[in-house]
Amino acid sequence: MSAATVTGANVAANGIRQHYLHYLGAGAPLVLVPGITSPAVTWGFVAERLAREFDVYVLDVRGRGLSQSGPDLDYRLDSLADDLSGFIAALGLSGVTVLGHSMGARVAVRAAKRNPAGMARLLLVDPPVSGPGRRPYPSKLAWYVDSIRQAGKGMDAEAMRTFCPTWSREQLALRAEWLHTCFEPAIVTAFEGFHTDDIHRDLPGLPIPAGLMVATRGGVIEPADEVEIQSLNPGICIERVADAGHMIPWDNFEGFLATADRLLGTALAARKAA
């Protein structure tokens, strides 16, 4: 099967310019919300496979990639959630599967609780479960800030390997190329929000179904967290991905797809390129 047709575009939504990549597919819409320092383009290899069953839109979250950025914007979780809802409304999408990774999963949960119009279900991929009174997120802020500052000066794949030692050269090169687009204050605000925003309060009574994908390495979601999440919302289906850290598709792509199939009822793992 040939690669998906990809276009980039901008839309005015929730009062800002939001950039996105559209991987044209024949299925229902899927909006992918990346994590804290992942511009949309870095999720291209995932979006191409998803486009075999969905019509895929990958967002540049404000302060990242080609979306609006700068010191005049609010980068807190509620604003990011309203961006997602505004994006879905601006494009007139309905029946949307929202796939959020890490910070993007927290955005998806908050958006579904605040304004679920157009959304049909959530796929939450290894969201940080830190928050007020909880253990801290396992990654450190300096890891993000140091790499962004180096990227701002110019860095290559080998320099990026210091920060992401298990990634392929292609993955490292793409991150090195795009990381400078991450606005440092936006990243700091999001990281601080991992510890001040309580997404657990959003889980009871979520108005749409949700599935949770958990990495077996990295310590973001522990077994006790899974128990708590299901106590708050017994309808959330949980699946674990073997041999994967927090950046699950980068570590075990086929495992990511197979797990998505179990949570979404799709056949992504079987749809390899011809």
What are the CA-CA distances from residue 272 to residues 2, 3, 85, 195, 267 (Å)?
Answer: 10, 11, 32, 39, 10
pLDDT at position 2 is 54
* Residue 177 annotated in active site: no
Helix (H, G, I), strand (E, B) or coil at 95: coil
- Active-site residue 102, yes or no? yes
φ, ψ for residue 210 (rounded to 5)? -140, 145
% of residues, the chain, pLDDT over 90: 96
Query: What is the predicted pLDDT for the residue at 4?
Result: 81
CA distance 32 to 100: 6
From the candidates 67, 102, 130, 147, give the one annotated as an active-site residue: 102
Angle between helix axes 184-196 and 103-114 (nearest 10 degrees) is 70
CATH class of the 6-132+197-270 domain in this structure: alpha beta
Closest to 268 measured CA to CA, from 101, 48, 44, 58: 48
Residue carrying the six token digits 């990227």? 151
> What is the tens place of the pLDDT at every residue in 192-246?
999 999 999 999 999 999 999 999 998 999 999 999 999 999 999 999 999 999 9
In order, the DSSP letters of 46-60 are HHHHHTTTSEEEEE-
pLDDT at position 16: 98
Alpha-carbon distance 6 to 48, whole Å? 9
Separation of alpha carbons 86 and 231, rounded Å: 31
The pLDDT, as a whole number, for residue 257 is 97
Q: Which residue has the higher pLDDT, 117 or 274?
A: 117
Element (H, E) at 71: none
> Average pLDDT over the chain, rounded to whole?
96
Q: Domain map of the chain by residue range?
A: 6-132+197-270
Cα 104 to chain centroid distance, Å, stands at: 4
Strand 6-13 vs strand 16-23: parallel, antiparallel, or unpaired?
Answer: antiparallel
- 158, 222, 231, 254: the catalytic one is 222
Mean pLDDT of 91-96: 98
Q: Per the structure block, which two tokens stand in for 26?
A: 């024949």
Helix, strand, coil percentages, rounded to 5, for the chain: 40, 20, 40
Nearest 10 degrees: CA dihedral of 187, 149, 44, 222? Answer: -50
CA distance 241 to 243: 7
Is 67 among the catalytic positions?
no
If you compute the radius of gyration of the chain from its CA atoms, what whole number of angstroms results? Answer: 17
d(CA 35, CA 57): 15
